[in-house]
């Protein structure tokens, strides 16, 4: 063994490898003596001043020296794990040492730590750019779609509600519904009951909730399967989305009175320049742009999914089975469908993280902020001027993944790609000019932000078909 710590990794089959860490007696002895020196001033031994108790006397205290040896072992294990991670060519996703103990004789003979680890690696010769995907057709927005959306906005943007809604009235889109929700977690047996108000078809409401409520009336109870926010135990807390059978009971319904066209125009363009008169033609153009943006986002979601499946299927990415087994247990995933869905997402995140490191991807800071706020909201924490560094680190990792996916899509090869990404293409038309363009590094950042958002004042043209979460 050369040096004070010698790390050897023996390659095994697939992701699973064996490791050996040899620690010299000199290293162990130095650390033990350091701990003894640190604890000496706190000892009260008759005949000795604090800090001057002989080392030999301290070593005769079996409980104390056992505690010191355990502290040193914990420190050595941390150091060994750090060295293993540094020496690994990929991402260490599972590390399991065999049981080991440190005794006085180890200060002379040294100590060997053995165990298994899984290392996730992507092929070094694969480029994330130029992936071939299926073709896309041209997008268009029909006059009928524009008219339908305007009628929807007349209702959605109204603040006036009917006071004469009959008791037996059935729920329609855009109604505000107050309901009770009840479900029992199938794994833990824990019961969850809550009362909520949701706007049917509103922003962030999962489609499963919309379908469960539409057509129902006050007092109705419905048994259905819904995506629900379930509290997560352990470090960080927060919630995660799980799909479970649940019961909804409709308590109350409120329905808006539609706006007149003139009122709608005033709501859609609240910040018009003085003397500038917005017309129904302006309204139709704005609605058309919003609907086109909705369709563009739908295509991008589909291409992201296709990109993930293509790379995972063709790059020969091996699944770290030990780590996945631990994840399934941690998340109580029992069905094959849930496990496969999570496996795909987990592998894809590992792929993106390694690619982002290799390609030196810088995140968009606006995206970092969005990711950070979502993390803090999921934890139930109120906004604060003090930054949570752990949450910020996770947010930056998520923003890098998003930026890399965008860059991979912009440089993918598929029929109709020019319609979306060329100058004057769909992304430019709907205000997504920065999508997939390399972010300037911190040193190059000039704070001249181009906010690629499609601003509609108080209204949005959203597609919620893929949303998840509890209403």
Write down the domain spans for the chain.
5-120, 122-154+262-471, 161-255
Q: What pLDDT was estimated at residue 379?
A: 81
CATH tag, 5-120: 3.30.70.1050
Q: What pLDDT was estimated at residue 195?
A: 93
Q: What pLDDT was estimated at residue 276?
A: 82
pLDDT tens, position by position, for the chain (471 residues)?
Answer: 445 789 999 988 889 999 999 999 999 999 999 999 999 999 988 888 888 999 999 999 999 999 999 999 999 999 999 999 999 989 999 999 999 999 999 999 999 999 999 999 999 899 999 999 999 999 999 999 999 999 999 998 999 999 888 989 999 988 999 999 999 988 788 899 999 999 998 888 889 999 999 999 999 999 999 888 887 665 555 677 888 899 999 999 999 999 999 999 999 998 877 778 899 999 999 999 999 999 999 999 999 999 999 999 999 899 999 999 999 998 888 889 999 999 999 999 999 999 999 999 999 999 999 999 999 988 878 778 899 999 999 999 999 999 999 999 999 999 999 999 999 999 999 999 999 998 766 544 443 434 343 344 445 544 433 333 332
Q: What pLDDT was estimated at residue 150?
A: 96
Residue 217 in 3-state DSSP?
Answer: coil
Backbone angles phi, psi at 74, to 5 degrees: -60, -45
CATH tag, 161-255: 3.10.50.40
Whole-angstrom distance, CA of residue 295 vs CA of residue 301: 10
Q: What pLDDT was estimated at residue 459?
A: 52
181 neighbors 221 (Cβ within 8 angstroms): no
The continuous run of DSSP H or E covering 250 comes out as strand 239-254
Whole-angstrom distance, CA of residue 129 vs CA of residue 436: 11
Whole-angstrom distance, CA of residue 213 vs CA of residue 203: 15
Q: What pLDDT was estimated at residue 440?
A: 66
Whole-angstrom distance, CA of residue 19 vs CA of residue 323: 17
Structure-block tokens of residue 2? 């050369």
Whole-angstrom distance, CA of residue 238 vs CA of residue 331: 13
Q: What pLDDT was estimated at residue 441?
A: 61
């Amino acid at each position: 063994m050369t040096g004070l710590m010698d790390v050897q990794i023996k390659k095994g089959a697939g992701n699973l490898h064996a490791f050996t860490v040899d620690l010299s007696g000199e290293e162990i002895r130095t650390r033990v003596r350091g701990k003894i020196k640190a604890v000496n001033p706190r000892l009260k031994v008759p005949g000795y001043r604090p800090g001057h108790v002989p080392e030999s006397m301290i070593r005769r205290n079996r409980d104390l020296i056992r505690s010191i040896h355990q502290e040193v072992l914990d420190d050595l294990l941390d150091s060994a794990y750090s060295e293993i991670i540094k020496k690994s060519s990929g991402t260490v996703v599972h590390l399991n040492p065999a049981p080991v103990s440190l005794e006085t004789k180890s200060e002379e003979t040294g100590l060997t730590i053995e165990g298994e680890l899984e290392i996730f690696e992507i092929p070094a010769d694969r480029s994330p750019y130029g992936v071939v995907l299926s073709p896309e057709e041209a997008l268009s927005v029909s006059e009928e779609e524009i008219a339908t959306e305007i009628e929807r906005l007349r209702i959605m943007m109204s603040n006036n509600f009917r006071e004469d809604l009959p008791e037996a009235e059935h729920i329609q889109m855009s109604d505000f519904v107050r309901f009770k929700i009840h479900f029992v977690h199938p794994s833990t047996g824990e019961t969850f009951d809550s009362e909520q108000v949701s706007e049917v078809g509103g922003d962030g409401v999962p489609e499963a909730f919309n379908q469960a409520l539409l057509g129902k009336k006050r007092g109705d109870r419905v048994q259905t399967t819904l995506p629900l926010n379930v509290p997560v135990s352990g470090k960080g807390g927060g919630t995660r989305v799980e799909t479970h059978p649940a019961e909804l009971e409709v308590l109350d319904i409120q329905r808006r009175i539609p706006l007149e066209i003139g009122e709608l125009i005033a709501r859609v363009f609240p910040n018009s320049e003085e003397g500038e008169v917005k017309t129904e033609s302006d309204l139709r153009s704005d609605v058309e742009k919003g609907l086109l943006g909705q369709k563009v986002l739908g295509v991008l979601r589909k291409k992201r999914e296709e990109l993930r499946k293509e790379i995972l299927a063709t790059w020969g990415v091996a699944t770290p089975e030990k780590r996945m087994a631990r994840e399934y247990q941690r998340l109580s995933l029992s069905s094959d469908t849930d496990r496969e869905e999570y496996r795909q997402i987990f592998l894809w995140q590992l792929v993106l993280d390694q690619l982002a490191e290799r390609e030196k991807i810088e995140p968009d800071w606006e995206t970092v902020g969005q990711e950070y706020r979502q993390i803090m909201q999921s934890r139930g924490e109120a906004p604060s001027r003090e930054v949570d560094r752990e949450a910020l680190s996770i947010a930056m990792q998520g923003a890098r993944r998003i930026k890399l996916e965008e860059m991979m899509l912009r440089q993918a090869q598929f029929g109709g790609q020019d319609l979306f990404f060329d100058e004057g293409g769909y992304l430019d038309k709907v205000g997504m000019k920065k999508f997939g363009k390399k972010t300037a590094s911190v040193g190059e950042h000039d704070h001249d932000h181009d906010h690629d958002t499609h601003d509609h004042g108080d209204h949005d043209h959203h597609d919620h078909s893929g949303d998840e979460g509890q209403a």
